[in-house]
Copies of this chain bind each other. A is one copy, B any other.
Amino acid sequence: MIRAIDGGITAPSGFRAAGVACGIKRAPAAGQPAALDLALVTPAAPASAAGVFTTNRAVAAPVVLSREQLRRSGGRASAIVINSGCANACTGAGGDAVARQMAEAAAAAVGCAVDEVLVASTGVIGVALDITKVRAGVASAARALGVDGSAAATRAIMTTDPFPKSYAVEVETAHGTFRVGGMAKGSGMIEPRMATMIGVLTTDAAVAPAVLSRALTRVCDETFNAITVDGECSTNDCVFALASGVSGVTVADADISALVEGLRAVAGHLAREIVRGGEGATKLVTITVTGAASVADARLAARTVANSPLVKTAIHGGDPNWGRLVAAAGRSGAEFAIGRASVSIGDVPLFVMGVPHDERADDAARVLANRDITITIDVGAGGSGEATMWTCDLSAEYVRINGEYRT
């Protein structure tokens, strides 16, 4: 059984966190408090660690380093340090050195091996990260570490996110109760110039690194990798998971279902919050594809529909335009049989086994007036392949945010 609880990354036992301001983000207006821009998360003892990273081949220095760290440490970590305001991406050999120095600073501050530090950065691309500011921030964050530091850490990884994203659950199993917590930042891009998704998941279950990695990969496919704001994939995307083991509940390789469910509950919530906070977004749209020849086909069709500008603008305008849904699924490359295909908006069928039902358009338009919308598409291939993607609408505000000349 899973139930939501208060808190975020420090809700599971054995984790402390801090968020501080060290001047990487531009100075706020006079009289305003300094913007938080550096987060530190530490387990009480070296924890099992896993990571999922961007598939973009233009990959940022902190992503390259964290991937290596996990390999070198054999999946153990004693600290995660994340800065916002500068992505340390497209910064050449100098950027690689800065990412390394950031890990060294955190290792010195918390007293662990350098290989046991994971790093992440989010913010402007192509600008050098000031290591002096990072060092000051890490030292100050290490002093501020506490079980009450979750909210500050969550704010410190934000760029232009409209709200912080944090969540935690308690998982009851036959062997005892453990907790999963998490924080994430999403796609706000005026200053960072990129949608950068960063997530940290924590649990007090006892999990071997390889098992944690397997669970994280599986959960990310159904959560963080199943959302889209605009189809972009950044140079800096990464999700980390840490397991402290403090709860005393061990997750064995043979049955990871409780861990997967706990991680999925937290990651799924955070992923949907990222979409809700997408640039210019006014609606959260759940797109489910059924009847596909395979799960891969279902994902392909769902992703194509979720990224279709014509679908996203129609939803923004409240137009129950099933023709655009059919056309997007049809061009996705997934097996598609128009004579057996169906489309519903909410519970209103608009196209059933190849036949239009435009007489239901007014009912569907009423569904589209809601903030949360479900769209179901049967691609008519007669298979059992199913997949769900979450997306948002496309508004003129998205264009305004991303088209504004940077200052």
Q: B57 to A336, Cβ gap below 8 A?
A: yes
Chain A interface (Cβ < 8 Å from any Cβ of B): 55-59, 89-92, 124-126, 189, 193-195, 230-235, 307-310, 313-314, 316-319, 321-324, 326-331, 335-339, 341, 351, 354-356, 358, 365, 394-396, 398-400, 402-406
Q: Give the distance in Å from the alpha carbon of A55 to the alpha carbon of B323 in the complex.
A: 16
A355 vs B94: C-alpha distance when bound (angstroms): 11
Bound together, the chains give a CA A55 to CA B316 distance in angstroms of: 27
Instruction: Determine whether the beta carbon of B351 is less than 8 Å from that of A90.
Output: yes
Query: What CA separation (Å) do A337 and B335 show in the bound complex?
Result: 34
Tell me whether A331 and B90 are in contact in the complex, defined as CB-CB below 8 angstroms, given that A126-B358, A313-B403 are known contacts.
no
- Cα distance A406–B317 in the bound complex, in angstroms: 9
Complex alpha-carbon distance, A232 and B399, angstroms: 18
Among A331, A356, A358, chain B packs the most CB atoms within 10 A around the CB of A331
Asked whether A399 lies within 8 Å of B404 as measured between CB atoms, the reply is no
Q: A58-B327, A309-B309 are in contact. List 6 more A-B contacts (CB 8 A).
A: A234-B327, A316-B399, A318-B405, A319-B404, A321-B406, A398-B399
Check B403 against A319 for contact (C-beta < 8 Å). yes
The reply to whether A329 and B92 contact each other, CB–CB distance below 8 Å, is no
Do residues A310 and B58 form an inter-chain contact, with CB atoms below 8 A?
A: no
Verify B125–A323 contact, CB threshold 8 A. Answer: yes
Contact A232 B309 (CB under 8 A): yes
Distance in angstroms between the alpha carbons of A74 and B155 in the assembled complex = 67
Taking A92-B355, A319-B406 as contacts, is the C-beta distance between A235 and B126 under 8 angstroms? no
Chain B contacts of A189 at CB under 8 A?
A: 310
Residues in chain B near residue A308, CB distance under 8 A: 231-232
B residues in contact with A351, CB < 8 Å: 90, 126
- Quick check: A330 and B399 within 8 Å, CB to CB? no
Whether B126 lies near A316 (C-beta < 8 A) is no
